[in-house]
Amino acid sequence: METKKETITTIPEKQETAIVIEHLYKQFGTNKVLDDFNLTVYKEENVVVLGKSGSGKSVLIKCIIGLLQPDKGNIIISGKSINGLSHNELDKMRSKIGFLFQGNAIYDSMTVRENLEFPLRRRWIKMSQEQINAMVIEALENVNLAHTVDMMPAELSGGMLKRIALARTMILKPDIILYDEPTSGLDPVTAREIDKLILDLQKKYHTTSIIISHDMNCVKKTADRVVLLLDGKCYAQGTYNEFEIADDPNIKQFFE
């Protein structure tokens, strides 16, 4: 079947862009993962990137945060291209971007408090211990886990770890958050809690989000716009409702 491009074309009318991805290519050996991928994300928008496992969704957001280097193409964040940035400039850019890892990536040799303090201390922000403590507690209260502050990650459940990871992602109050499958491996109840937290935090801090997911409940709840990544390209984009009634078999398979 030939790849169609942009079968659904409802795009928000917001003007201010947060992320612009232009003609992005990424290949591992002979495997073309991203093949002329284009996407524009607007400020305070939640875009869900939908796609099958191995379709390159995680690669896409790792290119955005600079953990992977694209082979070709341009990524513009808040009006500034990340191509050719020095390590320090990239670091500065990253301080405005939060990244929630699929496996949480909580440092298991540190307590919850140390995990949350880590990004604050590493950004070399001059703050007193009282200010740091207050930020840690605020971040934990946002995810209703203030009581776990001195616990070790091994003492916490999967859902709690996900919320701690979310608190750590939010602690620097980033403008943009990249979520890598935030509900994968969670039971439906906990997954719903995470979806709600994503929306609550987005409302509170006015963040822009790219959410990688193939959990349709998460997509339905969180997406302002859905983008289907297929064969390395932006195959289709539109609202959840538009996707739900689409006739295209590549889209329909996600709703069956």
Binding interface with other proteins (CB under 8 A) = 62, 65, 67, 87, 91, 94-95, 97, 99, 101-109, 118-119, 122-124
Tell how strand 46-50 and strand 208-213 pair up. Answer: parallel
Please state the closest distance from residue 220 (CB atom) to other proteins, in A.
27
| Six-digit token string for 17 | 């862009």
Answer yes or no: are the C-beta atoms of 151 and 113 closer than 8 Å.
no
* Nearest to other proteins of 87, 147 (CB atom): 87
Answer yes or no: are the C-beta atoms of 161 and 106 closer than 8 Å.
yes
Please state the closest distance from residue 93 (CB atom) to other proteins, in A.
10
* Nearest to other proteins of 117, 215 (CB atom): 117
- CA distances (Å), 99 to each of 31, 62, 170, in order? 25, 9, 9
* Nearest to other proteins of 105, 137 (CB atom): 105
DSSP class of residue 224? Answer: S
- CA distances (Å), 40 to each of 68, 132, 164, 250, in order? 19, 35, 29, 22
Which amino acid, one-letter code, is at 87?
H
Please state the closest distance from residue 250 (CB atom) to other proteins, in A.
29
DSSP-H helix ranges across 2-98: 57-65, 87-94
Please state the closest distance from residue 149 (CB atom) to other proteins, in A.
19
Q: Which of 217, 212, 227, 230 is nearest to 102 (CA)?
A: 212
Please state the closest distance from residue 66 (CB atom) to other proteins, in A.
8
| Six-digit token string for 188 | 């439906």
* Nearest to other proteins of 58, 237 (CB atom): 58
Please state the closest distance from residue 144 (CB atom) to other proteins, in A.
22
Nearest 10 degrees: CA dihedral of 110, 197, 54, 215? 140
| Six-digit token string for 119 | 């990004």
Distance from chain centroid for Cα 253: 23
Please state the closest distance from residue 18 (CB atom) to other proteins, in A.
17
